[in-house]
């Protein structure tokens, strides 16, 4: 909990040993619902994907068991992103979660031996390898108790993630990492408030490089061979607020907003400084009878350089943002979500199609929960 002030006091020291964008595969997000709402999920999440967005929200799940799967292809199918999640209600006020995330690029050509001893090209010597980033996340959430320890404070929960990270670049290098996230969620009248502190203790990745495989190639190009190293992922804080509005007897609107604070120096974000950068994320979800959903979101605000300078205005840069959208269908215990989202805007067809499914078992009667359907019913009763 004391890491953030330390980084604020000494950003230059940590900046020298910490890359600005470390373990970025864990910043993509999981679940088509969250991606369609531009990742504004810190306070809005209420299902198994809370393992990623805010583990404290695991107690909002209204089933004893919940499973989720997702697959997405990015950059024209070059990169594959997969996620599987599981949540389990241990007792009245606590939940356990488990998730696995993988971002991989397969069949990368290894052309080190493309030329034979006679200097001729020999395509049969080309081998292939895989570059992959994998994270295993263990989560726990519990409501706050008071009095005799058996009653739960309404709407207040805390959660934590323990992450094990394995990154591998073929036979050339691999890294192991460990990290911790902590989070909280609170129900205040009609509002949901959430906070997520990612990598709160600083996540460490220890890299081991197989220099023998790289020695010949690097010597020929005159480059220094990279050695074993320690990569640090600095803390990130996300604050979220959301609220549901009843538009009619059958239509509701969920609005959600997140503020993401990074402490690794100046980033290309909406608000930036030498110490802290801040980026907003906005999400909206319309639902019809709590069964059909239309979602949209705005995020990823960046200052983009204009290479062809406008001679009239003199502007050389402009602000851009990333819109996302999606739909969802709830079939009782089975949910199908779709998102039209963008991870980098670098392909000819910039938007990516993301599908995810969720399956739930054994609905819980009256457990400590602030799940979405219960909140909507309360809002309608108050109106």
pLDDT at 365: 74
Q: Which of 282, 208, 215 is nearest to 34 (CA)?
A: 282
Indicate whether 233 pLDDT > 90.
no
CA dihedral 14, 17, 19, 22 (to 10 degrees): -90
pLDDT at 373: 52
Q: If you count DSSP H runs as helices and E runs as strands, how many of each does the chain have, helices first?
A: 6, 17
Does residue 155 come out as left (phi exceeding 0), alpha (psi in the -120 to 50 range) or beta? left
Q: Can you list the alpha helix ranges (DSSP code H) found in 167-258?
A: 211-221
Mean pLDDT of 187-214: 89
pLDDT at 12: 36
DSSP state of 225: P
The radius of gyration of the chain from alpha carbons, rounded to an integer in Å, stands at 23
Q: Which of 42, 50, 136 is nearest to 88 (CA)?
A: 50
pLDDT at 346: 44
Q: Which of 148, 180, 245 is nearest to 2 (CA)?
A: 180
Higher pLDDT among residues 218 and 329, named by residue: 329
- Structural domain containing residue 159: 3-382
pLDDT at 1: 33
Cα–Cα–Cα angle for 193, 199, 204, rounded to 5 degrees: 175
Note the pLDDT tens digit of each residue in 62-81: 899 999 999 988 877 788 99
Give the list of residues 6+ apart from residue 280 with CB closer than 8 angstroms, or none: 257, 258, 259, 260, 270, 299, 301
pLDDT at 378: 53
Find the range with the poorest average confidence among 69-83, 236-250, 285-299. 69-83
Across the chain, mean pLDDT equals 82
Most confidently predicted of 26-30, 84-88, 311-315: 84-88
Indicate whether 148 pLDDT > 80.
no
pTM: 0.82
Give the side-chain half-sphere CA count within 13 A for 265. Answer: 13
Q: Do you know the residue count of the chain?
A: 383
Note the pLDDT tens digit of each residue in 10-22: 333 333 346 667 8
Mean pLDDT of 71-92: 88
Give the side-chain half-sphere CA count within 13 A for 169. Answer: 11
Note the pLDDT tens digit of each residue in 368-377: 444 455 555 5
pLDDT at 147: 52
Q: Which of 194, 231, 190 is nearest to 209 (CA)?
A: 231
Give the torsion sign (CA, 216, 217, 219, 224).
Answer: negative
Bridge partners (DSSP) listed for residue 98: 86, 138
pLDDT at 8: 35
Higher pLDDT among residues 314 and 295, named by residue: 295
> Looking at the chain, which runs of residues are DSSP E strands?
63-74, 79-89, 94-110, 127-146, 151-169, 173-188, 191-198, 203-209, 229-233, 236-246, 251-262, 271-272, 277-288, 292-305, 317-331, 334-341, 352-363
- Most distant pair of Cα atoms in the chain: their distance: 83
pLDDT at 31: 93
Indicate whether 104 pLDDT > 90.
yes
Find the range with the poorest average confidence among 45-54, 235-244, 291-300, 369-378. 369-378
* CATH code, 58: 2.40.160
Number of domains in the chain: 1
Higher pLDDT among residues 203 and 315, named by residue: 203
pLDDT at 369: 43
Mean pLDDT of 323-327: 93
Distance of CA 88 to the CA centre of its chain: 21
Q: Which of 148, 35, 37, 46 is nearest to 87 (CA)?
A: 46
> What is the secondary structure of 39-53 as a DSSP string?
T--TTT--STTHHHH
Note the pLDDT tens digit of each residue in 329-367: 998 889 999 999 875 554 455 678 899 999 999 888 754
């Amino acid at each position: 909990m004391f890491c953030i002030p330390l980084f604020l006091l000494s950003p230059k020291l940590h900046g020298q040993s910490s890359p600005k964008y470390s373990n970025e595969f864990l910043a993509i997000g999981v679940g088509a619902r969250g991606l369609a709402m531009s990742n504004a999920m810190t306070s809005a999440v209420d299902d198994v994907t809370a393992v990623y967005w805010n583990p404290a929200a695991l107690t909002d799940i209204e089933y004893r068991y919940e499973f989720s799967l997702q697959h997405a292809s990015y950059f024209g199918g070059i990169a594959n992103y997969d996620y599987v999640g599981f949540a389990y209600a241990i007792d009245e006020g606590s939940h356990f979660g488990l998730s696995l995330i993988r971002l991989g690029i397969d069949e990368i050509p290894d052309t080190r031996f493309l030329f034979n001893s006679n200097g001729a090209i020999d395509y049969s010597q080309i081998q292939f390898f895989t570059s992959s980033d994998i994270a295993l996340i263990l989560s726990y959430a519990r409501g706050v108790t008071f009095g005799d320890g058996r009653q739960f404070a309404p709407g207040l929960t805390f959660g934590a993630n323990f992450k094990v990270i394995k990154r591998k670049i073929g036979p050339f290098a691999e890294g192991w990492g460990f990290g911790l996230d902590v989070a909280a969620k609170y129900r205040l009248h009609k509002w949901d408030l959430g906070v997520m502190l990612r990598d709160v203790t600083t996540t460490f990745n220890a890299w081991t490089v197989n220099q023998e495989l790289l020695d010949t190639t690097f010597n020929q190009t005159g480059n220094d061979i990279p050695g074993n190293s320690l990569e640090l992922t600095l803390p990130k804080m996300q604050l979220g607020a959301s609220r549901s509005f009843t538009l009619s007897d059958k239509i509701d609107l969920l609005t959600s907003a997140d503020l993401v604070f990074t402490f690794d120096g100046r980033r290309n974000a909406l608000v930036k400084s030498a110490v802290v950068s801040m980026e907003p994320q906005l999400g909206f979800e319309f639902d019809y009878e709590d069964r059909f959903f239309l979602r949209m979101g705005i995020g990823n605000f960046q200052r983009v350089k204009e290479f062809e300078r406008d001679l009239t205005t003199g502007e050389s840069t402009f602000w851009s943002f990333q819109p996302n959208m999606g739909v969802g269908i709830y079939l009782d215990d089975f949910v199908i979500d779709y998102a039209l989202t963008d991870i980098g805007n670098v392909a000819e067809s910039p938007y990516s199609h993301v599908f995810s499914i969720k399956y739930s078992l054994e609905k819980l009667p009256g457990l400590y929960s602030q799940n979405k359907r219960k909140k909507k019913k309360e809002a309608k009763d108050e109106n």
